[in-house]
Copies of this chain bind each other. A is one copy, B any other.
């Protein structure tokens, strides 16, 4: 198979059936990019590896920032190899039915008091006055299926109980050293058991479900998440990005276009004396002094498996294998599966009081009674039914977070966040928009009626009659694909019970060795799991190479 046929096959594979926006002009200019990237006949590739000073694997924001840093500091030979047909990685801006842009990947600048990428964007905004983000933190609206709105209820004060669970969890683990971790679900039960004398029945019932909004930060369910790690501090307000394509393109434009090679899968990374040999799936080879591997933690994890195991697409074979510190670190970290469904309506018929609408999952049967009568924590855990359904029969089995764009940017759209394992299921049926809508219809209708709107009219296939025009008509929905996509295999790093993210962060920061480096959201402490952390890690590794080159 010639490399050209391979490239076409890859392109066809990656071209999404859904209506993705092309990121900048990279996909359109693919052939040009390929041509300038020295792709010759296969026979030549087999005989002599091409030389590059640095090869960056992955054109997500970490890889792009690394390339940008190297170029700005005089590096002339660098190649960014990207398996997908686009740059941006887990930053993905797509277009809705009227051309409005949505971020299916990361959507916010977090920690804006300590976020250097945010400050850079703010500076850029000063220059061209283009709106790049909007602060849209707002008070949560909590909606329970039976009780309706339960936020800011003066009799329940659930916001204060929720804050107390956060504090309780912190005290539990950080008052003494080496306290054994447990699941987030179990620590909530421990709190409720210990403090039940000071809680009403409603507080017991609802605070347990409200705490689960953190599932939508981590992308995993409470029975999986680490109690130690689930709560975290925000370093400043959050800013919704409008949209991340402009960030990706701005950074992508800071170094030569021909540094980027799309649709190219790396198969192996081998040390070759002082150099590193990069082998592509196409059979081509590159030899370089340094490589920065920015593939997601979930994909890097495949390197620990045997190459012939099933479902190892994207696996990179390391020779020598990933070092022992990295292998150990993988025992203490997991990967979340945050997904999104974008519900686009024809008009906004609902209240734009808040941009955050959280719908509570149904409680387990007899939950309050079980908490009241339990004699021990273990007894309570045993007595309660399993907390998360694997059946995917009822949308009310899962807590869900709706970002109300009507409030934040005046657009009649709700972006729903969902967590594993629900996101895996929904993404698996993501091509059947009708089926996805039907699954969420009960919770969508409850959101609408609670926010003073009529229920949703399904306008996915047919145009509704005129009599229904006071109702919000669902015109389109968009579903993410991060869990099924072999080059993401989920969303981002997450701590499950017993994990310790620090080990992975340290292992990744140290690198495989002095020549094979790592960057990405899973490799850094400040901004871990976030865009600016990934960006910063790319800068870090770029600077590492520049320093190292000076020394040698």
Binding site for B on A (CB under 8 A): 112-114, 122, 126, 135, 137-139, 152, 154, 157, 159-161, 163-164, 167-168, 171, 195, 197-198, 233-237, 239, 352-354, 407
Contacts and interface: CB of A to CB of B under 8 A. Distances in A.
A232 B312 CA distance: 49
A139 B122 contact: no
Contact of A235 (B135, B171, B195, B198): B171
10 closest cross-chain pairs (CB), A and B: A137-B160, A164-B236, A164-B237, A160-B237, A154-B353, A113-B168, A167-B236, A137-B157, A167-B235, A113-B167
A122 B154 CA distance: 23
A122 to B, nearest CB: 6
7 contacts: A113-B164, A135-B157, A139-B159, A154-B407, A161-B237, A167-B233, A167-B235
A154 B152 CA distance: 14
B152 A139 contact: yes
Nearest to A136: B157
A178 B154 CA distance: 42
A138 B113 contact: no
Contacts of A157: 135, 137-138
Given A138-B154, A407-B154, A122 B164 contact: no
Contacts of A237: 160-161, 163-164, 198
A498 to B, nearest CB: 24
Nearest to A152: B139
Nearest to A111: B167
Contacts of A233: 167
* Complex copy number for this chain: 2
Contacts of A112: 198
A267 B423 CA distance: 74
Nearest to A171: B113
Contacts of A126: 197
Contacts of A154: 138-139, 352-354, 407
Contacts of A353: 154
Contacts of A163: 234, 237
A279 to B, nearest CB: 44
A135 B198 contact: yes
A241 to B, nearest CB: 14
Contacts of A235: 167, 171
Contacts of A135: 157, 160, 198
A353 to B, nearest CB: 6
A173 to B, nearest CB: 13
A195 B113 CA distance: 9
A398 to B, nearest CB: 27
A365 to B, nearest CB: 27
Contacts of A171: 113-114, 235
A536 to B, nearest CB: 15
A122 B407 contact: no
A154 B195 CA distance: 33
A349 B446 CA distance: 35
A15 B112 CA distance: 57
A364 to B, nearest CB: 25
Given A112-B198, A160-B237, 9 more contacts: A113-B167, A138-B154, A139-B152, A154-B352, A154-B353, A154-B354, A163-B237, A167-B235, A171-B235
A235 B159 CA distance: 15
B137 A167 contact: no
Given A171-B113, A354-B154, A122 B198 contact: yes
A111 B523 CA distance: 36
A81 B152 CA distance: 48
Contact of A168 (B137, B168, B236, B407): B236
